[in-house]
Amino acid sequence: MSIAQNQKGKVALITGATRGIGLETARGLGRLGITVIIGARDARNGVAVVNQLKQEGINAVSVKIDVNEIADHGAVYDYIDNNFGKLDILINNAGILLDVEDISGNIVNRTSTLPIELIRETFDVNFFSQIQFTQTLLPLIRKSEAGRIVNLSSVLGSLTLHANPDAPIYSFKTFAYNASKAALNAFTIHLAHELRDTPIKVNSVHPGWVRTRLGGGSASMDEAEGSVTSIKFATLPEEGPTGAFYHQDDQLPW
């Protein structure tokens, strides 16, 4: 899948961008000449990352954004509006995985006993806050000539694969996380349909199994490899897909 040729002058915001896949996504987009806005829960971490990226020749700024803090949503909108007047790329990268059995990361299906508070907390970060933040920034994305919204999902959000005993993810039943990603995929489909007659493309992406705090140390991909799909879908050409679910060039089942 190709990348649109002209990225100069574009502005991208990545949530959860001070480490892991988010940071590598910012680095990859910055190398294409895109101005990257580092979304950081801790403002000091955001400044440190920006200084690091600037040393690499990347044009970067940071904003404080805790996706659960609605006041931050409005502040980010105002910052982008006042400084750039538009937003070309929104990457909803922030997310949490809470429903593991123990500190070693063993996965046990606890659907019948999983505390409802844990499910709500997961959905607040992985679903409700993503919707609200996207809705807040959408007027700025509409000002872009080719807006791109990338929702960081997971293959674990695929209902088709979870229902298939032969699928490699069949035993990975982390209910809160999986359900929140399935719901995020539904948001992708519905928003893409609403925006189908505009230049804006909305897609869900699975980064792969990546060695991060969330993915664990046994994962098969490093963080730079995990950023590849986000970068591709942030820079889709006009003929690229919308309302789809991909890992790199492979379309995934819902």
Dump pLDDT digits (tens) for 74-84: 999 999 999 99
Residue range 172-191: mean pLDDT, rounded:
97
Distance separating alpha carbons of residues 47 and 63, to the nearest angstrom = 9
The CA-atom distances, in angstroms, between 101 and each of 108, 119, 173 are 6, 14, 11
Tokens of 42: 């801790």
**Are 89 and 25 in contact, with CB atoms under 8 Å apart?**
no
pLDDT score for 106 = 67
**pLDDT band at 208, cuts 50/70/90?**
confident
Burial tier of 163 (Cβ tally within 10 Å: 0-12, 13-18, 19+) = exposed
The residue count of the chain comes to 254
pLDDT the model gives residue 211: 44
Q: Which tens digit of pLDDT belongs to each residue from 96-114? A: 999 876 555 567 899 999 9
d(CA 165, CA 37): 42
Per residue in 34-53, pLDDT tens?
A: 999 999 999 999 999 999 99
Task: Give me the domains of the chain, ranges plus CATH numbers.
Answer: 11-95+120-155+177-208+221-251 (3.40.50.720)
- Residue 77 appears among annotated catalytic residues: no
Task: Show Cβ contacts of residue 85 under 8 Å, excluding neighbours closer than 6 positions.
Answer: 140, 143
Give the whole-angstrom CA distance, residue 84 versus residue 155: 34
